Structure 1
Amino acid sequence: MSGGTRPEGQLVEMISRMRDFIDDEVIPREAALAGEDGGPELERLRGRAKELGLWALGHPAELGGGGVPFLDFVYLNEVIGRSEFGQLAVGSVSMQDTLMLYRHGTEEQRRRWIPPMVAGDILPSVGLTEPEVAGSDPTLIETRAELDGEHWIINGHKWFTTGVAQAAYCTVFARTEDESVPRHARISAIIVPTDTPGFEIVRAIPTMGHDPSDHYEVRLTNVRVPVANLLGERGKGFVIAQDRLGPGRIFHCMRWLGQAQRAFELMCDRANTRYAHGSPLAEKGEIHRYIAESAAEIHAARLMTLDAARAMDAGEDYRVRVGLIKFWGARMLHNVIDRAIQVHGALGLTADTPLERMYRQARYARIYDGPDEVHRMSTARRLLRSPEAAPWN
C-alpha cells in the first residue's frame, strides 16, 4: 500500500493531540454527555477543541476548516471514533453535508449554510429513509416534490432522520420525475429549513435502549420551499446520495476501529486484573483466543479501510473496497465488543463500563448506510462481472 500504514510528520503530532483530547477530556465526560443535560458539557468541549486546533480538521480550508487531506483525516477519525461523542466534540459531524453542499450547491446555498455549519453554529440533517419502503433501495422513495410556480410542494414521510430536531435544515430526497424516466434518475435532493410550515417532527424513535434517541420520524405536509432550494441537478438525487455515502462509509469504518480498539484495551485490562479459578483470566486459553482473534480482525479491517481511503484519495474506483469494509468492519466491531463483554462477565452487562452502550451502537453498524446483505450482494456482482476489480489486482 502506498504510504504504508503509519502516518508521518506533522500528522503524527496532530493524532497525538487528538488522542489526548478524546481520551482525557471527552471519554471521562461520556456519562454526562449521554444525559439530558449534556448540552453545556458538549459546548465546553467544542470550545476546548477549537482552542487546541482540533476543530473541523477535515473540512476544506477554503470553507474555514482545517483542510486536512482525506487519507490523513481517516487516521484522525480512527481516534475521534474512540468516543461516540467525538464527532460532535471536534466538529467533524457536519463534514459529509458540508462537502455535499460544496460539490453540488449553488453559490447562495453555500453562502447561507456552509459558514455556520463549519463553525458549529448549526447542524444539518438528511431525509432519505422512509418507513413504508426498503431503505436499502433509495429508488423506491415515495416522498414527492411537485413544482407549483416558483416553489416545490413536498409531501412525504421520513424516519431515522438523524439529528433533525437540532438541525437548521434537512436535505430531503424526494421523487420529482415520473415513470418515463429511468428509476435511478427520478429522485432529487431539496434543502428544507426545519422551521418551514408543514415540516413536522413526529417523534424521537426509541431504538435499542435509547429513549429518546437521536433518530426522528418526520412528516412533510404541503411543505413549500423555493425552486432555488434544489440541490444539484433535478433527477440527480441518487448520484448526490451515493457521493455523500461513499466517503461516509469509510469514516464509519474508521470510527468503528476506534471503538473496537477501545474495547480491545478494556478486554486486555480486565484479563490482566481479574482472577478466577486459580489463575488470572490472562492465563486462560480461551481468553488467549479472544485476544488474538480480536487483534487479527481489527488489524485486517484497519488495513482494508486504509486501502479504501488510499484508493479514493488517488481517484481510483473504490466501490469494491468500500463494499468489503462496510460489512467486514461491522462484523469485526460486533465481534470485538462481544468478546470484551464476555471477558468482563456480569460487569460487562452493566452501565459501569462503556461496553454495553458500545454493543448496542455496534448493532446499528450492520444496517445504516446500507445493510450488510446489500453490500455483500452489490460487491459480489461487481466482482463476478469484473474479477480484476478485486483489491489485490
Structure 2
Amino acid sequence: MIDFEIPAETAALRDQIRAFVNDKIVPYETDPRLTRHGPTEEMRTEMVELAREAGLLTFQAPARFGGREPSHVDQAVLFEAAGWSTLGPVALNCAAPDEGNMFLLGKIANEQQVEEFLVPVIEGRQRSVFAMTEPDGAGSDPNQLKTEAVFDGSDYVINGRKWLITGANGARTWIIMARVAPNEHGPDGPTLFLCDGDTPGIEIERVMNTMDRNYVEGHGVVVFNDLRLPASAVLGEVGQALRYAQLRLAPARLTHCMRWLGAASRAQAIAIEHARTRTGFGKPLAEHQGVGFMIADNEIALQQCRLAIWWACWTLDSGAKGRHESSMVKAMVSEELFKVADRCVQILGGMGISDETPVAMIFSDMRAFRLYDGPTEVHKYAISRQVLRNPR
C-alpha cells in the first residue's frame, strides 16, 4: 500500500527548516550583496553561520559526517522547505553544486580526499565546483569532452576551457572532468580529478552574466593552462568519469526539483495573498474567474510535481538507479514549475515583473532551471529510447 503520511520526525524538521528560512534568510533577499552574479561569498558565509547556530547546517549529510542522513523521500520534504527562499539552500548548505558534489565525493573519494576536499565543504567552510561543461564541447552530450589530460607516468597535465562553471570564483574543492589521452602508462578516457582551486594553472577568465542569480558567485568561464596534478588527484578510476557523472546526476536532478518546488510554492503564496487583497472592477482579484483558474492550475501543478518527486525518490530508496524516473520527473517538474511562476507573475501584474516581491527572481531562476542537469529535450530523448527498448 502507498503511504503518503510524513513521519513525525521529518515533519518536525521540515517545520524547523521552514521557520528558519522564513525568519532568518528571507530578509537577505533584499541585501545588496545579492548581485546579478548571485550572493557574494561574504553573504554566503554569514547565512551559513546562522544555519550552524540553528543546528541545521548540511542536514542531508551522511551520519558519519555528523548529518541526519535522511532518505531520498525525506529529503524531498526537507529540501522543499529549504527552497521557500532561493537563498535557503545556500544558507543550509544543500544548494547546487555543493550538494551534488558532496554526494559524489561521499561515494567515490578515498579517505585522504574525503578529509582534504569533502569535509570542509560539509562543514560549510569552503565551496566546490563540478567543471564539466565546455563552450564547444561537453554539455548535454558529455561525450564531446575536449579538455585533455596528458599523463607522463607521474603527473597529469590538463589543458582546456570550461564555462557555466557554477561558483568557480572563490571555490576551493574542484572536481574537473578531462579526457585522459592514450598513453603507455595505463588507461585513458574521461576522468575526474580533484584539486584545490588555488592550484597554478586554473584561471578564472570571467563570471558570465546570466538570467539566474541564486548561485554563489554565479557561473564562471575557466581556462586550464598546463594544470599539473599528481596521479593521486584522480577521483575514482581513470576512464570512469561518465559513469560517475550519472551516479551524481540522478539524485541531483531530483534535489533541484525539490528546491524549486519550494520556491514555486512561495510564489504561489505571494500570488494568493495579492489576489485576496488587490481589487479590480469592484471585487478582489481572486473572485475573478480568470485569476481563480490560474491559482487552481498552480495548486494542481504543485501537487502533481510533489507526488512525482516523491515517487522517484521512493524508487531510489528502493535501491534502483532511478535514471529513467529522475529524467521523467526533471522534464515534467521543470516545465510545470516554470508555468506556475509565470502565472504568479501574471496574477501580480506590474508588481510581478519588479523586485517588490521575489516572484520575478523566482521566475527568471525557474527559466534557467529548465536547463540545469540537462534540458527537457535531452531527458525526453532518453525517456523515449528507454520506452522504445522496453515497451510496457
Report if the CA contact (8 A) 1:64-1:118 is conserved: no
Q: Is the 8 A contact 1:5 1:303 kept in 2?
A: no
Higher RCO structure, 1 or 2 (CA under 8 Å, sep 6+): 2
* Change over 3 Å in CA distance of 1:353–1:7 after alignment to 2: same
Write out aligned runs for 1:126-275 (5 A): 126-133=130-137, 135-178=139-182, 186-208=189-211, 214-275=218-279
Q: Name the % identity.
A: 31
Aligned partner of 2:6 in structure 1 is 7
Equivalent residue number for residue 84 of structure 1: 86
Any residues of structure 2 matched to 1:319-330 within 5 Å, and which? 319-330=323-334
Contact 2:132–2:138 (CA under 8 A) maintained in structure 1: no
Q: Which residue of 2 aligns with 1:387?
A: 391
Shift of 1:335: 0.5
- The corresponding residue for 2:28 is 29
Q: Which runs of 5+ in 1 are unaligned?
A: 180-184, 389-393
Cα distance change of structure 1 residues 198 and 42 upon mapping to structure 2, 3 Å threshold: closer
Q: Deviations over 1:312-333 (max 9, x none)?
A: 0111242222111111111111
Query: 2:213 touches 2:365 (CA, 8 Å); kept in 1?
Result: no
1:266-310 residue CA offsets vs partner (Å, 9 max, x unmatched): 111111111111221111111121011111111111100000001
2:41 pairs with 1:52: no
Match of 1:182 in 2: none
Instruction: Give the CA deviation at 1:343.
Output: 0.8
- The residue type equivalent to 2:301 in the other structure is E
Match of 2:73 among 71, 74, 82: 71
Question: How far off its partner does 1:210 sit?
Answer: 5.5
* CA distance, structure 1, for counterparts of residue 22 and residue 312 of structure 2: 27
2:357 to 353, 356, 359: 353
Moved over 6 A (4+): none
For residue 83 of structure 1, report the CA deviation from its aligned partner: 1.4
* TM-score when normalising by structure 2: 0.93
> Which piece of structure 1 moves more, 320-329 or 137-146?
320-329
Please give the per-residue CA displacement for 1:232-262, whole angstroms capped at 9, x wherever unaligned: 1110000111111110001001111101111
Give the root-mean-square deviation of aligned CA atoms.
2.0
Cα distance between partner residues in 2 of 1:65 and 1:151: 35
Shift of 1:40: 4.7
Residues 152-197 of structure 1: per-residue CA shift (max 9 Å, x gap)? 1000000011111121131110111559xxxxx8311011321111
The runs of 5 or more residues in structure 2 that have no matched partner are none
The DSSP-based 3-state class of the residue aligned with 1:161 is strand
Q: Would you say how many aligned residue pairs link Structure 1 and Structure 2?
A: 382
Q: What displacement does 1:100 show?
A: 1.2
What letter is aligned with 1:227? A
Q: 1:38 Cα shift?
A: 5.4
Counterpart Cα distance in 2 of 1:40 and 1:106 = 31
Correspondence for 1:61: 63
Map of 1:119 onto structure 2: 123
Q: In 1, distance between residues paired with 2:321 and 2:130?
A: 25
Of 355-364 and 41-50, the range deviating more from structure 2: 41-50
Instruction: Tell me if the contact between 1:71 and 1:309 (Cα under 8 Å) persists in the aligned partners.
Output: yes
CA distance in 1, matches of 2:165, 2:63: 28
Residues in 1 aligned to 2:153 and 2:41: alpha-carbon distance in whole angstroms: 42
